Structure 1
């Protein structure tokens, strides 16, 4: 671990990830609560969730750009854009023109920009670390992501309750600006010849874009990765429903503070799972995943059933432990078996494929909350986590997945024909 933290380029990337996630955590809580408060209708929170999550489902379209664009430039640009856009909300407030409609326009734009930022960070990781350090690096990244959420979801709930949501948007702008400065210190070298500056015609560029996109899709659907998407698709549908009704559900248990606490419990569970990722990776992954997600589904539904501020928070947090663990495990596995030149588009296809059901679930959740009690919806949404366990039980290759260090391209059935001049085992050489 010390070797990672003494790596100056990795440290700058790591700190930048922490700072930008602080901004994202604060912004998400403030936005959802502001929509809940101004709109005074759960349908609006469902619509807000739909619009925030929709860019995640479209992330596969960004993959070819992420693989071609310079890493440092992409990271800096995304943070600067977010720093400016997030100020639109407080400016509209002070000009007395703030509306639900404006928030619903700004939110998805910022969310779309994030779909370039986070995958680019993941792509940079294997270029800064040795293969044997990737699992630890991913665990630290998960800590940066979930650990920040753990603290700042609670803090943002308190800030909203005491000072109002507008204050958070002003703080956000500073966090994104600081993250841009940190990312400016990240110098990554790649040997991807597609990152040259030669000018190409529009038709050629479009043709290459779709060729690159198709290559990423082919890797996923010609390998075991596609099977992972099926359970994730159903589970994310349930997550989308839950996130849409969470402000209304929290209102019944204690208001804005309780909303922050529930999101904090979610982050605590994900963080705990992320920290357990390396440990679980030394066990039979197939069997461990089935057990974890079965227990997670039971915890989730029980959290809604008891409807108690303390026990609901504890049980809801427990339900997210397997999600955090599996995310870290498969992030490390994919980085070690997929060539870096394909990593951006393959990861984005995987992410989009699993996230596409979340905005649909959010929209449905917002509607259902207008006709059904949010507690009832919360209970039944917990069953969604059970689908991953079911898929892994009925799929023999998933059920028999060994320890992480024994998984390779053959395990997942990955067959990649390398393009001329590109060797996946080579490190990179052109400056970003």
Structure 2
């Protein structure tokens, strides 16, 4: 039996793991309930596009939000931001049972809560080395990632069933309660807090100056690395993925003959595929990175074309298998960053990568909403599958991308080893 590392039983890591678990329950329900609530209030896929636009816009702005974490103690940032999120979400049932809900109010709240998530995520990534030590960062992250993906499978699938019986608004109340519990839990953190520079608090002008210095430092850190050269590919994938996911609520209702639980099943099947990809990645990391991406995403494209055309059960199965490639790509890229980036820059580099990759998502949301409104929801899913094949052909046609070595040999910060033009 493999011995469990001592850091797993450390007080602060147990608090963080428990918080991730409770957040998994709340976010799983919220992910399903939020989009279905917009669809129910508006009766239009176009508004689902607006909702996804709001959420993805927050993701694209994360590179501006992340440096703000440097201006408060990490514990305070986590506690107060989660408390504000909980209060915001509690207004949805409050208004629903009093003056009534407006679809635009819900969309704006989706945007605001997504902004707070962009603030807390880099903090959680940054405190991990403080809690477990730099030598255990990758292994600790694997624990947390496994919890996130496993809980997503259970809670997102369960969310669809819960919403079918109690409705979308009570389900969002459950999410608010979960976030409130996380707020209380994180108040018990006792790790060493970094000192906030007194210079940063002298005036608004000096604080703004330090903010832009921190922001520029993140850009400069990755400027001459391999990271920016792969952003185009990530933007393309995200645009096509959002075109599909914007239509997924309406698509699942059609496939499930009006049963809202079907949406949860599709989201859970994607989480299952991503988790499988996460688990098998160590067995595949010796394969050349370029070849692995080309083969896996051609497979994803074919499978998701089948998702668009086949009945519910077969559609969900193919959707899940197609998502395996996403888990593989996420873990390989994220792990390489964790290994090669200095601890002080991990939060900023991850944020810059994800926010840059999110730049195309608002556009994809609007395109998806328009497509869903003017055609059947199966069309955007089919387009996403075809786009995955086009993405693979692009990599295949580029000798630099096609010949990328295995992930351990790809040096993100040394272009003398890998030169992608």
The answer to whether the superposition gives a TM-score over 0.5 is yes
What RMSD over aligned residues (CA atoms) do the two structures have, in Å?
2.2
CA drift of 1:235 comes to 0.6
Q: Does 1:118 align with 2:110?
A: no
Q: Does 1:272 align with 2:276?
A: yes
CA distance in 1, matches of 2:207, 2:32: 39
Among candidates 38, 43, 56, match of residue 59 of structure 2: 56
**Kept in 2: contact 1:138–1:331 (CA 8 A):** no
Give the equivalent residue in structure 2 for 1:297: 301
Give the equivalent residue in structure 1 for 2:223: 221
CA drift of 1:75 comes to 1.4
Give the equivalent residue in structure 2 for 1:420: none
Map residues 27-426 of structure 1 onto 2, 5 A cutoff: 27-189=30-192, 195-198=196-199, 199-254=201-256, 255-306=259-310, 308-386=311-389, 388-396=391-399, 398-408=401-411, 410-411=413-414
TM-score (norm 1): 0.88
Q: Deviations over 1:232-276 (max 9, x none)?
A: 101100111111111111111113111111111111111111222
Give the equivalent residue in structure 1 for 2:4: 2
Once the two structures are overlaid, the 10-residue window that deviates more, 4-13 or 58-67, is 4-13
| SS in structure 1 at match of 2:53 | helix
CA distance in 1, matches of 2:237, 2:172: 31
| SS in structure 2 at match of 1:87 | helix
CA drift of 1:395 comes to 5.0
CA drift of 1:284 comes to 3.1
Once the two structures are overlaid, the 10-residue window that deviates more, 179-188 or 331-340, is 179-188
TM-score (norm 2): 0.91
CA drift of 1:387 comes to 5.2
Give the equivalent residue in structure 2 for 1:421: none
Q: Deviations over 1:331-369 (max 9, x none)?
A: 222122112222222211111110121122112111111
Once the two structures are overlaid, the 10-residue window that deviates more, 140-149 or 401-410, is 401-410
CA distance in 2, matches of 1:209, 1:238: 33
Once the two structures are overlaid, the 10-residue window that deviates more, 265-274 or 286-295, is 286-295
CA distance in 2, matches of 1:213, 1:85: 28
From the superposition, tell whether residues 277 and 288 of structure 1 become closer, same or farther in structure 2 (CA, over 3 Å).
same
From the superposition, tell whether residues 262 and 282 of structure 1 become closer, same or farther in structure 2 (CA, over 3 Å).
same
Once the two structures are overlaid, the 10-residue window that deviates more, 315-324 or 376-385, is 376-385
From the superposition, tell whether residues 387 and 210 of structure 1 become closer, same or farther in structure 2 (CA, over 3 Å).
farther
From the superposition, tell whether residues 48 and 64 of structure 1 become closer, same or farther in structure 2 (CA, over 3 Å).
same
Q: Which runs of 5+ in 1 are unaligned?
A: 415-432
**Kept in 1: contact 2:224–2:413 (CA 8 A):** no
From the superposition, tell whether residues 260 and 38 of structure 1 become closer, same or farther in structure 2 (CA, over 3 Å).
same
**Kept in 2: contact 1:47–1:362 (CA 8 A):** yes
CA distance in 2, matches of 1:66, 1:223: 24
CA drift of 1:56 comes to 0.5
- Equivalent residue pairs, number: 411
Q: Which runs of 5+ in 2 are unaligned?
A: none
CA distance in 2, matches of 1:378, 1:72: 41
Give the equivalent residue in structure 2 for 1:419: none
Give the equivalent residue in structure 1 for 2:16: 13
